[in-house]
A = this chain, B = another copy of it.
Amino acid sequence: MENTPPDHSLSVGVSFGDCDPAGIVFYPNFFRWFDRCFHHFLAARAGGHAELCARLGALGVGLMDVQAQFRAPVRENCTLTLDLRVREWRGRALRLGYEGHVGDTLCVTGEEVRGLFVMREGRMAAGEMAPLRAALGL
C-alpha cells in the first residue's frame, strides 16, 4: 500500500451482477472500475473526457498497457474504495497506479499506461502529453 495521498478516489458498490458463478467479482470488472475512476478524475479536474478531447483535438485518452494483481476476492455488497495515483508523465504516455481496498484489505492493485490519441495522416496515433497535463493542472 502506498503512502502518498491519492490523486483521486472513487467508491464502487459491488453488486450481484458484477460477480461470476464462483461468487466473486468477474475480473474484467476491475478494469471497468479503473476506467471509471480515471474518467471520474477527469470530470473532477477538467470537465470530463468529452470536453477535454474537444479542447485538445483528441479522440480519447486511451489505453496502451494495463496490468492488475488480484490479492483478495471481492464479493457482492462489498464497497471497493479505489485510489488513483498519477505515477509518471512521459512524453507520449501517462502512467497511473490503482489500489482497491475493501475495508482494510488490499484486494486489487494495478497500473494503466494511457496515451492521448489523435488522428495523424488518417490513423490513430499517440500525441504529446504536455497539453493534457496542463489541462489537468498537474
Secondary structure type dominating chain A contacts: mixed
Q: How many residues of A contact B (CB 8 A)?
A: 40
Smallest CB separation, A81 vs chain B (Å): 15
* Chain B residue nearest to A111 in the complex (CB): B67
Residues of B within 8 A of A17 (CB): 20, 26, 28, 32, 35-36, 39
Contact A27 B16 (CB under 8 A): no
Q: Does A62 contact B (CB under 8 A)?
A: yes
Measured CA separation A1–B136 after assembly (Å): 37
A-B contact pairs, 22 of them (CB 8 A): A15-B40, A16-B36, A17-B26, A17-B35, A19-B21, A21-B50, A21-B60, A22-B117, A23-B59, A27-B35, A27-B62, A27-B63, A28-B31, A28-B32, A48-B77, A50-B76, A62-B73, A63-B70, A65-B68, A66-B67, A66-B68, A67-B67
